[in-house]
Chains A and B, each alone.
Chain A
């Protein structure tokens, strides 16, 4: 309700300054009235004009009146003016004739709107690279060549072939598929991009794995790549699994030509040079071009209007220390508009942009908020059940299979049912309003909706009940779409029978539903941040500047963490100076209490109401806080090979940074410097990529070359993972004469000391011969490893993965939340990452934490356990089985007590209780038994 959604709208101009912008918006006509359209799809069914469907990458057709895809928000149709027959010839109007609600508005016009805003977030995304310009790949000429995006739609269950893996041109099932990496990326060709698109290695591996799932193990999949860049959390394991267990073949080569194969002309032949230098030819049924990401071309105009700087590749420029801020104060950026990135990173940056904007606008917080008002709740406790059943047609989604009128007629015969309606789309706004009226008009006190899934739609219908003055827990759904019409499409009679059973079960439960109360609990509007590194400090500042008191706990005697040892970011910014400035700002911030040389020893409580005990130099101290952010960092692995710790000229990356920062005299005599990558990464002990080391090495190599151009610098690597725009550094290093030599995990370099001087021996992959090289300094790209701080994890009851990284609630959709409410995560404690990503994550964690702190109280779900003390025998079995420590034992009364805020409503206690003294509200034994009995009563 506090988000105004303006579709078909672009930002035409932005006047004013941070905190007081006037945005001019140009809204294109939709030709459909948003308030009247119910999304039934009749217009599209009747529309005679077909055009290529851009959502399905042109592989399917859509109509001139359309929704982009079936989950669009809002689910309202729009007319594509360029395709519509009426706008070309002045006649047709089929949509207008058939629209049941009169929603078509052919005289709709462009509108100019203005809005007063304090900040602007740009999230305009990217454009997929068009490989047509690269003639050698044959895209657009040969039907067996598709883009990665097209292949994504081919694999999709909602795609043009319903997930059936076929070649689009002739619908034949391919037996051999090849992926060509870096199409349009890492390419100095004038129509390509020099940067790495960062996501294509992972999406190609994923597509190969899913293709095998869809087509069976007989499908041959080959990925042609230069460096496999699986640098994200859990990505390396996915790659290992695809290669070693699932049989995806990986060939390190850049394919130079794709030609039609003689014969039926349906296959293509790839020609490439293998690692031994031999020319090879292979034929494939389908070739997928792993196209990269580029800045959207229309963005350049927008940016000119906004006065925001671009980087050399056309993406919005952002510095490492303010990663979501553009060059114009008050204008923020997130997602791929600021450079290629994947979903978790984009979602995280979205929160970061919100956090960065909010910390500048805290003074005006809540000044324009609209609040919902609800009618008072009607007390139905002593009424006989009066159940209303609404059976949804969901357009043809349900009604195309299930006989909806028959189900509705059956519902009328069920006990306590006093009213039955059929809805075309139960979820449309007008239907919601009508349902509210019907509830009032017929005095309904229980509602059953037979439609889709409660997992997606229960909250919506519950709000309808609230609007009608009913307690929201007097509601039950029968899932006759996802779990019926969609999965029994071939047996409509059985589907109708099942729908009746499901409605009968729902009615039986509904008649036993009771209104439930949602308890309000106060929120302590302050935060605890664990870890005083860059992530912890950034999170603390973002929250403090929004007005929330923060306790910042650091185990060392000084703020700064690992970043104090870093020389520069990959963009060349001075890290030391930044850390000093950040620490000074944190220390000076009145809302932040810094606890140095302190650790956390105990945490109790729950979201909004934590109590933690700190061990400080001045003795123990108790703090109360509503949220916690874990930013406890990670450490550099201490290598056990390559003479590290035995020979003084063998150093780690952080040690080399310290030498460079201190202008160490040892550097002046270095004539030959070698780097060895993946020391302790991508091996058995740490089966993950440490993400930052390749870029760090290239940056350090360039720095050494800058200071001593005559020095010989060699990098021994397994895959260079200078992802995204960092690729430009790799290119520059090669131009500066830095040598890059690849080694494999089974033939690692050997380091020996000869008369005190280091010698590195490695296999030259081109010569196929061993090479011995004396070096003066050897830098090991040591892994980043977690602190494996299990005590911290146990105190907060949050999980860690097998490598000791803290595990977020959802890797893609909730990247900085823990599954436990009120606890958030940022920085290296989550996974190795560069500084700018840690800072963005810190801002994101702070923004997510502020969603709790912004409210003075939280509501607890009504679906919680309740103990009937008179039945409780005090056996404490429920106390022991509760996975959330939500049940305690009251020694004086001799009974179990449920903490409503901690209870997640799993019901383990209810199933365990020998005397049914504990029940889960909303899923009581009576209600479940009623469902069981009625399920089989037909």
Chain B
């Protein structure tokens, strides 16, 4: 059985930059691992420490804030 560690990453991404960049990665067909789940916010400033802590509490191995 393959027990290689696969991190689960939660990303908070700004609608205007990082989310757009993730869209563009798609348009450009760039390939990357399917480990991250993106949450769109209207600005990375919306993300408070509470959100990050809650993500880690809920089982995320890593949190990315992109903005």
Q: Is B42 interfacial (CB 8 A cutoff)? A: yes
Say yes or no: A486 contacts B46, CB within 8 Å: no
Say yes or no: B28 contacts A923, CB within 8 Å: no
Q: Is B4 interfacial (CB 8 A cutoff)? A: no
Say yes or no: B15 contacts A163, CB within 8 Å: no
Q: A483-B23, A490-B31 are in contact. Are A935 and B45 (CB under 8 A)?
A: no
Chain B binding surface, main DSSP class: mixed
Say yes or no: A501 contacts B46, CB within 8 Å: no
Q: Considering the chains assembled together, what is the distance between the CA atoms of A932 and B46 in angstroms? A: 14
Q: Which residues from 504 to 527 on chain A have a C-beta closer than 8 Å to any C-beta of chain B?
A: 505
Q: Which of A297-305, A534-542, A584-592, A905-913 contacts B (4 or more CB under 8 A)?
A: A905-913
Residue of A nearest to B37 (CB): A935
Partner of A932, one of B10, B28, B45: B10
Say yes or no: A907 contacts B43, CB within 8 Å: yes
Say yes or no: B26 contacts A487, CB within 8 Å: yes
Q: A157-B28, A487-B30, A497-B34 are in contact. Are A936 and B42 (CB under 8 A)?
A: no
Q: Is A881 interfacial (CB 8 A cutoff)? A: yes
If A489-B31, A502-B37, A935-B37 are given as contacts, then 13 extra A-B residue pairs at C-beta distance below 8 Å, sorted by A number, are A158-B27, A453-B23, A456-B23, A483-B22, A483-B25, A487-B25, A488-B33, A497-B34, A908-B45, A920-B42, A928-B39, A928-B41, A935-B39
The 3 closest A-B pairs by CB, nearest first: A907-B46, A482-B26, A906-B43
Say yes or no: B8 contacts A936, CB within 8 Å: yes
Q: Considering the chains assembled together, what is the distance between the CA atoms of A7 and B24 in angstroms? A: 28
Min CB–CB distance B46 → chain A (angstroms): 3
Say yes or no: B46 contacts A489, CB within 8 Å: no
Residue of B nearest to A481 (CB): B26
Q: Considering the chains assembled together, what is the distance between the CA atoms of A920 and B40 in angstroms? A: 13
Q: Which residues from 483 to 502 on chain A have a C-beta closer than 8 Å to any C-beta of chain B?
A: 483-484, 486-491, 494-495, 497-498, 501-502
Q: A907-B42, A933-B54 are in contact. Are A495 and B28 (CB under 8 A)?
A: no
Say yes or no: B51 contacts A932, CB within 8 Å: yes
Min CB–CB distance A811 → chain B (angstroms): 16
- Write the A903-925 contact mask toward B (1 if CB under 8 angstroms, else 0): 00111101110000000101101
In the complex, which residues of chain A have a beta carbon less than 8 angstroms from the beta carbon of B40? 454, 479
Min CB–CB distance B17 → chain A (angstroms): 11
Partner of B38, one of A481, A483, A905: A483
Which of A481, A487, A495 is most buried by chain B, counting CB atoms within 10 A of its CB?
A487
- 29 A/B residue pairs, CB under 8 Å, sorted by A: A453-B26, A483-B25, A483-B26, A484-B34, A486-B27, A487-B31, A487-B32, A487-B34, A488-B34, A489-B29, A495-B34, A498-B34, A501-B37, A505-B37, A505-B39, A908-B45, A910-B46, A911-B48, A920-B46, A923-B41, A928-B41, A928-B46, A932-B10, A932-B39, A933-B54, A935-B39, A936-B37, A936-B55, A936-B58
Q: Considering the chains assembled together, what is the distance between the CA atoms of A163 and B25 in angstroms? A: 13
In the complex, which residues of chain B have a beta carbon less than 8 angstroms from the beta carbon of A163? 28
In the complex, which residues of chain B have a beta carbon less than 8 angstroms from the beta carbon of A497? 34
Residue of B nearest to A906 (CB): B43
Question: How many chain B residues have a CB neighbour from A under 8 Å?
Answer: 36
Partner of A486, one of B29, B47, B51: B29
Min CB–CB distance A215 → chain B (angstroms): 16
In the complex, which residues of chain A have a beta carbon less than 8 angstroms from the beta carbon of B25? 482-483, 487
In the complex, which residues of chain B have a beta carbon less than 8 angstroms from the beta carbon of A905? 42-43
Q: Considering the chains assembled together, what is the distance between the CA atoms of A226 and B63 in angstroms? A: 52
Q: A486-B27, A907-B46 are in contact. Are A936 and B54 (CB under 8 A)?
A: no
Question: How many chain A residues have a CB neighbour from B under 8 Å?
Answer: 47
In the complex, which residues of chain A have a beta carbon less than 8 angstroms from the beta carbon of B30? 487
Q: A455-B15, A455-B23, A482-B23 are in contact. Are A494 and B34 (CB under 8 A)?
A: yes
Question: Measuring CB to CB, which residues of chain B are less than 8 angstroms from any residue of chain A?
Answer: 8, 10, 15, 19-20, 22-34, 37-43, 45-48, 50-51, 54-55, 58-60
Q: A498-B37, A936-B10 are in contact. Are A906 and B23 (CB under 8 A)?
A: no
In the complex, which residues of chain A have a beta carbon less than 8 angstroms from the beta carbon of B37? 498, 501-502, 505, 935-936
Question: Measuring CB to CB, which residues of chain A are less than 8 angstroms from any residue of chain B?
Answer: 157-158, 162-163, 453-456, 479, 481-484, 486-491, 494-495, 497-498, 501-502, 505, 863, 881, 905-908, 910-912, 920, 922-923, 925, 928-929, 931-933, 935-937
Min CB–CB distance A303 → chain B (angstroms): 38
In the complex, which residues of chain B have a beta carbon less than 8 angstroms from the beta carbon of A484? 26, 34
Q: A486-B26, A488-B34 are in contact. Are A907 and B58 (CB under 8 A)?
A: no
Q: Considering the chains assembled together, what is the distance between the CA atoms of A937 and B54 in angstroms? A: 13
Q: Considering the chains assembled together, what is the distance between the CA atoms of A863 and B27 in angstroms? A: 27
Say yes or no: B29 contacts A162, CB within 8 Å: yes
Say yes or no: B45 contacts A906, CB within 8 Å: yes
In the complex, which residues of chain B have a beta carbon less than 8 angstroms from the beta carbon of A498? 34, 37
In the complex, which residues of chain A have a beta carbon less than 8 angstroms from the beta carbon of B26? 453, 481-484, 486-487
Say yes or no: A455 contacts B31, CB within 8 Å: no
Which of B26, B28, B41 is most buried by chain A, counting CB atoms within 10 A of its CB?
B26
Residue of B nearest to A928 (CB): B51
Residue of A nearest to B59 (CB): A936
Say yes or no: B42 contacts A482, CB within 8 Å: no
In the complex, which residues of chain B have a beta carbon less than 8 angstroms from the beta carbon of A494? 34
Say yes or no: B55 contacts A932, CB within 8 Å: yes
Q: A936-B10, A936-B58 are in contact. Are A482 and B34 (CB under 8 A)?
A: no
Say yes or no: A479 contacts B38, CB within 8 Å: yes
In the complex, which residues of chain A have a beta carbon less than 8 angstroms from the beta carbon of B48? 910-912
Min CB–CB distance B16 → chain A (angstroms): 9
Residue of A nearest to B40 (CB): A454
In the complex, which residues of chain A have a beta carbon less than 8 angstroms from the beta carbon of B10? 932, 935-936
In the complex, which residues of chain B have a beta carbon less than 8 angstroms from the beta carbon of A935? 10, 37, 39, 55, 58, 60
Say yes or no: B46 contacts A911, CB within 8 Å: yes
Partner of B27, one of A157, A881, A920, A937: A157
Residue of A nearest to B58 (CB): A936
Q: Considering the chains assembled together, what is the distance between the CA atoms of A216 and B50 in angstroms? A: 42
Min CB–CB distance A495 → chain B (angstroms): 6
Say yes or no: B20 contacts A455, CB within 8 Å: yes
Q: Considering the chains assembled together, what is the distance between the CA atoms of A928 and B55 in angstroms? A: 10
In the complex, which residues of chain A have a beta carbon less than 8 angstroms from the beta carbon of B32? 487-488
Q: Considering the chains assembled together, what is the distance between the CA atoms of A502 and B42 in angstroms? A: 18
Min CB–CB distance A886 → chain B (angstroms): 13
Q: A488-B34, A495-B34, A497-B34 are in contact. Are A479 and B29 (CB under 8 A)?
A: no
Residue of A nearest to B41 (CB): A923
Partner of B31, one of A488, A910, A922: A488
Q: Considering the chains assembled together, what is the distance between the CA atoms of A483 and B33 in angstroms? A: 11
Residue of B nearest to A488 (CB): B34
Residue of B nearest to A497 (CB): B34
Say yes or no: B42 contacts A906, CB within 8 Å: yes
In the complex, which residues of chain A have a beta carbon less than 8 angstroms from the beta carbon of B23? 453, 455-456, 479, 482-483
Say yes or no: B46 contacts A906, CB within 8 Å: yes
Min CB–CB distance B66 → chain A (angstroms): 12
Min CB–CB distance B64 → chain A (angstroms): 12
In the complex, which residues of chain B have a beta carbon less than 8 angstroms from the beta carbon of A937? 58
Partner of B29, one of A157, A454, A908: A157
Q: Considering the chains assembled together, what is the distance between the CA atoms of A910 and B41 in angstroms? A: 12
Q: Considering the chains assembled together, what is the distance between the CA atoms of A490 and B32 in angstroms? A: 9
Residue of A nearest to B25 (CB): A487
Min CB–CB distance B47 → chain A (angstroms): 6
Q: A483-B22, A489-B29 are in contact. Are A933 and B42 (CB under 8 A)?
A: no
In the complex, which residues of chain A have a beta carbon less than 8 angstroms from the beta carbon of B41? 907, 923, 928
Q: Considering the chains assembled together, what is the distance between the CA atoms of A497 and B22 in angstroms? A: 18
